[in-house]
Amino acid sequence: MVTGAKDLTPIELNRLHPVIGTEVRGFSIADPGDGDRIDEIKRAWLEHPVLVFREQPICDTDQIRFARHFGELEIHPSLAHQASGHPEIYRVSNVDEAGNILPDKSNEWLYLNLTWLWHSDSTFREIPSKGSILHGIEILKNGGDTLFANMQAAYEHLDDQTKARLEGLTVIHSHDHIISLSSELSRRQDQGEYTELPPVSHPLARAHPETGQRSLFLSPHTMVAIEQLPDPEGRALLDRLIEHATQNRFVYRHRWREHDVIMWDNRCTMHMVTPFDNQAQRRIMHRTTIVGDRAPIPASGMT
């Protein structure tokens, strides 16, 4: 049932960090109300690229319905992590669907374990994801926080010389690179089943397609090399930018509570999970991923 607008409480925004992370109050994902309410969330999201909704005991269908207001949904290339009833749900979980903790050395866990590294979602696609929505179903008492970095703020704080240096530079991103980052997984014959994706090229500095704001486009997960610079020069530049972009002043740390839902803009943020004991406790999150509207726009293409 859709609630009439007159019954709804006003949506309130509350910043959790000076540059990233904003709590949304007075909004129910399961029962959002009319299109105006969704438009309000869309507007808030453009200004606040990480929105946190508390106490949202939603089911997968509610999550999918809500996510579809923002675009089509991606199907994740890792087949083992798709929810059986809903391929649009990517299971970010150290537990299988039967409730058993994934063995430490299983392909499924080794792959998921790479979310402990900084990344942005779906950068291995020609058109990377617009945004992701993550529902915390079973959360941990210790560890397993999610960190979010604001890549617009990181870009703005670069010196002019570095900004000029980034103009025209492009980076090769590849899904295979994710697997190569696990020494264990990369050695295996059987690395799990994935939809095949060829490497793609993206600008190192990009402009947001809706606001025009410039940001660094980093995703250490998938970044193979800068096309115009030989290694080690290219690698050194990427490493310096990653270090710059992940300083505390640009990063919000989310300590999960049960049924938190976070919605982030992949076009101007990065995220990572802080380490936790994956054999002692269950951590179950369900993600929907919104398809991007267009390939990343180089920062220099925006005037």
Residues in touch with Mn ion (CB under 5 A): 121
Tell me if 238 contacts ligand OGA by CB under 6 A: no
What are the helix (H) ranges across 219-265? 233-245
Among 58, 134, 207, 237, indicate the residue that binds ligand OGA (CB under 6 A): 134
Q: Which is nearer to ligand OGA, 48 or 287 (CB)?
A: 287
List the beta bridge partners of residue 239.
none
Report in angstroms how near the CB of residue 271 gets to ligand OGA at its nearest. 6
Among 154, 287, 292, 296, indicate the residue that binds ligand OGA (CB under 6 A): 287
CA distance 210 to 303: 13
Tell me if 132 contacts ligand OGA by CB under 6 A: yes
Among 52, 151, 285, 299, indicate the residue that binds ligand OGA (CB under 6 A): 285
Q: Are 218 and 238 in contact (CB under 8 A)?
A: yes
Tell me if 89 contacts ligand OGA by CB under 6 A: no
C-alpha radius of gyration, the chain, whole number: 19
Report in angstroms how near the CB of residue 165 gets to ligand OGA at its nearest. 29
- Helix, strand, coil abundance in the chain, percent, nearest 5: 25, 25, 50
CA distance 120 to 248: 18
Among 48, 202, 208, 271, indicate the residue that binds ligand OGA (CB under 6 A): 271
Four-CA torsion 243, 118, 145, 15, nearest 10 degrees: 70
Report in angstroms how near the CB of residue 283 gets to ligand OGA at its nearest. 7
CA 99 vs CA 94, 102, 126, 220: distances in Å: 9, 9, 35, 31
- Count of other CB atoms within 10 angstroms of residue 146: 22
Q: Which of ligand OGA, Mn ion, none interacts with 134 (beta carbon under 5 to 8 A by kind)? A: ligand OGA
Q: Which is nearer to ligand OGA, 208 or 286 (CB)?
A: 286
CA distance 164 to 250: 21
Among 24, 263, 270, 273, indicate the residue that binds ligand OGA (CB under 6 A): 273
Helix (H, G, I), strand (E, B) or coil at 157: coil
Residues in 145-164 that interact with ligand OGA by CB under 6 A: 146
Tell me if 51 contacts ligand OGA by CB under 6 A: no
Q: Which is nearer to ligand OGA, 28 or 278 (CB)?
A: 278
Tell me if 121 contacts ligand OGA by CB under 6 A: yes
Residues that bind ligand OGA (CB under 6 A): 92, 115, 121, 132, 134, 146, 271, 273, 285, 287
